[in-house]
Structure 1
């Protein structure tokens, strides 16, 4: 799977979590962010950093480099969602990681998505399809990984990951307020 860019290498974000003594997980953080964005929320950079600190749940202070990384992750994720529609990349371990590690991370991503999505107050009911997607994400978040490395498990993982990616795009398009411009990045930190 393609990474968002070299800057958003899962291992780099994982390193930040380790340095923070984090209770959370990198995939969960990205899922939380994308969940909020998909539900129609737009956080300025300060509010995003505050939300990220909560999800990271670490013991240390974020360095300036960590803050820059998190802001870039936010801006890139919003740009991917609001772009042509098929550019979204989930922040997950790369293909060299074990199928167990990638599967657990996908479950963490879905758990984070549900948490972020659920924090955003929305007007109106979700479509039946969107409600079904959220139920699917809840099931994926419960994944228990003890998988053998096999072509079948690899194919299943790729199919579920692609489903999640496309389902997020559906939720994003359904939940965007009509009165907000979709391609405006938040004001930058000064």
Structure 2
């Protein structure tokens, strides 16, 4: 795919592309779905979640390019020893409540990606990875419809927990099953 494959598409670009293919997913949920599926190398099984209209996927080559970029950047993020996995989330200028909702959606997509790509029981993971997976389920169910007190710093800490947590799950799956994203 070349050098451009390493550039994370913007939240706005992915949101626009998802609308063009009549997807019900948010950009954050879409990226979470990809990131979860990459843990088991089974991204093909998730394509059906992007839209109810498969023809629209074939008619929008830009959508395929964006998805390929997300897969590539995410694969590289998992392999990065510095834990620099990038999330596709709204930028910091967006209100805290919307960014919190997007992180919850990202976690929901991630869990769905894990489940749909073959990981059926979190309890079969090593204990630390199983705990993280269960925490991600909890985060995905946060009620972001009510304005709770919180700060940008709280959200950053939660994002960092998720970033480290998905690395724990990824490493557990590599060690347990020999899977490796993008290989």
TM-score, L = length of structure 1: 0.79
- Given that 1:25 and 1:56 are in contact with CA atoms closer than 8 Å, whether structure 2 keeps it comes out as no
Pick closer, same or farther for the CA change 1:11–1:58 going to 2, 3 Å: farther
- The counterpart of 2:83, out of the listed 72, 86, 104, is 86
RMSD value, Cα: 2.7
Structure 2, unaligned stretches of length 5 or more? none
Cα shift at 1:78 = 0.6
Give a deviation string over 1:13-71, Cα, whole Å, max 9, x none. Answer: 01112222221111111111111222x3254xxx2xx623x222254613111111111
Q: Name the count of aligned residue pairs.
A: 173
Report what 1:41 is aligned to. 41
Pick closer, same or farther for the CA change 1:58–1:19 going to 2, 3 Å: farther
Partner SS for 1:24: coil
- For 1:178 and 1:6, the matched residues in 2 are separated by 30
Matches within 5 A, 1:2-21: 7-21=8-22
* Deviating 4+ runs (over 3 angstroms): 4-7, 120-124, 177-183
- For 2:179 and 2:132, the matched residues in 1 are separated by 25
1:161 corresponds to 2:162: no
Pick closer, same or farther for the CA change 1:85–1:64 going to 2, 3 Å: same
Report what 2:46 is aligned to. 51
- For 2:155 and 2:67, the matched residues in 1 are separated by 27
TM-score, L = length of structure 2: 0.82
Pick closer, same or farther for the CA change 1:7–1:167 going to 2, 3 Å: closer
